[in-house]
Structure 1
Amino acid sequence: MPALQQPDPEQEALDWFSRLRQPGCDEALRQAFANWCQDPLNARAYAQLEAYWQKLQAPEPVRPRPRETRLRRSRVGLWLGLLFLLVLAVLAFLYWPMLQRLSCELHTDSGERRSVRLADGSTLHLDSASAMNVDLRSRTRLLHLVQGQVYLEVMLDGRAMEVQVDDARIQVFGTRLQLARYSDHDELVVLAGKAAVLLGGDQRMVNAGERVTFTSTRINSTEKTDAKAADAWRRGRLQVKERPLVEVLERLAGYQGQRVWLMDEQAGYRRVSGDFDLDHPAQSLQQLASEHHLSLHGVLGHWLIAR
């Protein structure tokens, strides 16, 4: 005779699990299920099935998202960057005038004076740290004073001559004149003949023995000048009469390639008269400082602090 098939608690537990979840489940079915659970094997099988089902139904734990790491810019790196930009700005401020001079057709170094004869027969005398561009090809001879000071001896050849100084134009009608650029203004001195300064809609005629100063916005009134003192720099002398102290300091310091920083701004307006040696600017500066009770301090060979 065939062997009797033993009941399988796990299979029966699966059947009961399915039947109990049907819509037609009634009290009689629930009572039959309770009677079936009286057997410990059946109860354990169903409990295991229920636990497995609960595990399947439980939501997956939400894994915390990794926090976005904010990259903080290092303070050290920031300060180094700022320091680098500062150094670049200082170098540009110190060396830009020299680079600008070197890019010009005619130029001189600090402390150097030079005379150049042009193709039209005119002669240019360049002061220390000066730079010019020259164009003699057109019907109007064009000169451009970029930096410093120049003394012109003009050869009249039937063509007009103009000198450009920033936005100002100087029309030359004479044979000898001098142009200079300073930190806050420009200057024209006519020694022979005439010249006209044109700036925007303004114009000023300057006769021999007169000087005029002008800026980027205005032309000042003409003044009488001492022609001998005006071009004394060509002989290595700086002769001034009632000129601002800061202007004289800048001229002397420029001869040794330095820029002036005057700590007392009011002292810069003092009027100075005297005769100074441009070939020995350091001695001339000490003489001037002693007369006006100033102390001079050189910084890195580029700056001269006066206080």
Structure 2
Amino acid sequence: MNPMPAVQFDHDPQREALEWFARLRQPGGDERQRKAFALWCQDPDNARAFAALESRWQQLQSPPARLRPREVAVRRSHWGKALGALFLLLLAALAYLYWPLMQRLGSELHTAAGERRSLRLADGSTLHLDSASAMNVDLRSRTRQLQLVQGQVYLEVMLDGRALEVQVDDARIQVFGTRLMIARNSDYDELVVLSGKAMVSQGGDQRMVSAGERVRFNPVRIDAVEKADIKTADAWRNGQLAARDMPLQQVLERLASYQGQRVWMMDEQTAYRRISGDFNLDRTGETLDSLAAAQQLRVNNLLGQWLIVR
């Protein structure tokens, strides 16, 4: 399978400075993030943009050095609070919109929206990454460690005498086979085993999954193991979304993610409507238009980031 070309992003120091400003104030920062920020600041334009942003932030946070008449001071105080609240709201909106992208770019292996890529690891294993997916890989120790940060991966494991584990948030997947698929969705994660076995562990709960089976899990529980439709689960590698009695919202979210967009359903009853069909992931614009017409939906594009569905 030939990988699709990566999406190119224009260099915009002001926008990137806002993203870094929001990202550095998120909890859970690590050494890798600080090194990435230091590398970004080596560009003089980037450094100046970030310094200017910090200066404006300090001005908003600092009280006026000298107050004149009381009514002027009160007015300025109100304006300062309003501007500060507006600035924080803008930062929160930017962080919400761009955090998935920043999280991907901060991972060792990642794909852009609409891109699929196959990668051979140093141990001989192969990763097939779906659109907008991200992984971290550490093969140095006696137990090979992978972490699925976003998206979906089809993993072909090379057996070399060492154990292999995949981390998905707090869940740990011990791999005893050679082929499996792991996907992260908005409300659950999923493991499908195509060859061999794998065990999902979380807290004190665990499930053993054999070839031809799947299991769904989230931070609260691990569901019962079920039979898997392998052809349906694996269809994305050939650019197809094979929906079988799938909620309409889930289909729309899957298609929209290939365009780097999110879906906002205005009608909850419509969101849970069950549909089946095969949808082209490589021409998602046309596919979304056809699906909207077939389901009698009105779809509006908001700022290139959201699809509002009525």
* TM value normalised by structure 2: 0.75
Deviation at 1:84, TM superposition (A): 1.7
Measure how far apart 1:86 and its partner are. 1.4
Within 5 Å, give how 1:270-289 maps onto structure 2: 270-289=273-292
Counterpart residue number, 1:142:
145
Aligned to 2:74: 72
Partners in 2 of 1:181 and 1:268 — Cα distance?
19
Please give the per-residue CA displacement for 1:175-213, whole angstroms capped at 9, x wherever unaligned.
Answer: 110001011110111111111110100001111111111
Distance 1:262 1:285 in 2: 14
Aligned counterpart, 1:86: 89
For 1:270 and 1:208, how far apart are their aligned partners in 2? 30
Higher gyration radius (CA): 1
* In 2: Cα distance, 1:160 partner to 1:73 partner: 65
| Mapped pair 1:180 → 2:189 | no
In structure 2, the partner of 1:267 is 270
Match for 2:290: what amino acid? Q
Q: Which runs of 4+ in 1 moved over 6 A?
A: none
Q: Which residue of structure 1 lines up, in the alignment, with residue 45 of structure 2?
A: none
CA offsets, 1:58-117, max 9 Å, x none? xxxxxxxxxx83631444443333222211111110111101100110000000000000
Decide which of 236, 244, 249 is 2:247's aligned counterpart: 244
Give secondary structure in 2 for the equivalent of 1:284: helix
Work out the CA distance in 1 between the residues paired with 2:223 and 2:229. 18
SS in 2 for 1:86: helix
**SS of residue paired to 1:243:** strand
Q: Any idea what SS the aligned residue of 1:72 has?
A: helix
SS of corresponding position for 2:74: coil
Partner of 1:41: none
Aligned counterpart, 2:225: 222
Structure 1 range deviating more: 248-257 or 283-292: 283-292
Q: Deviations over 1:106-156 (max 9, x none)?
A: 000000000000011100000000000000111111000000000000111
- The 3-state SS of whatever aligns with 2:180 is strand
1 CA distance for matches of 2:152 and 2:268?
25
**Which residue does the alignment assign to 1:193?**
196
Amino acid at match of 2:295: H
- After TM superposition, the structure 1 stretch with the greater mean CA deviation from structure 2, 243-252 or 161-170, is 243-252
- AA at the equivalent of 1:305: I
User: Which residues in structure 2 correspond to 1:1-307 (within 5 Å)?
Assistant: 69=70, 71-74=73-76, 75-307=78-310
Alpha-carbon RMSD:
1.5
**Alignment size in residue pairs:** 241
Q: Where does the alignment leave 5 or more consecutive residues of structure 1 unmatched?
A: 1-67
Q: Distance in 1 between matches of 2:276 and 2:225?
A: 20
Cα distance between partner residues in 1 of 2:195 and 2:271: 32
Structure-2 residue corresponding to 1:56: none
Kindly indicate whether structure 1 or structure 2 has the higher relative contact order, using CA contacts under 8 Å at least 6 residues apart: 2
Per the alignment, in what secondary structure is the counterpart of residue 261 of structure 1?
strand
Q: Percent identity, aligned pairs only? A: 68
Cα distance in 2 between the residues matched to 1:252 and 1:210: 25
Describe the superposition over 1:239-265 as per-residue Cα deviations: whole angstroms up to 9, x where unpaired: 110112111111100000001111112
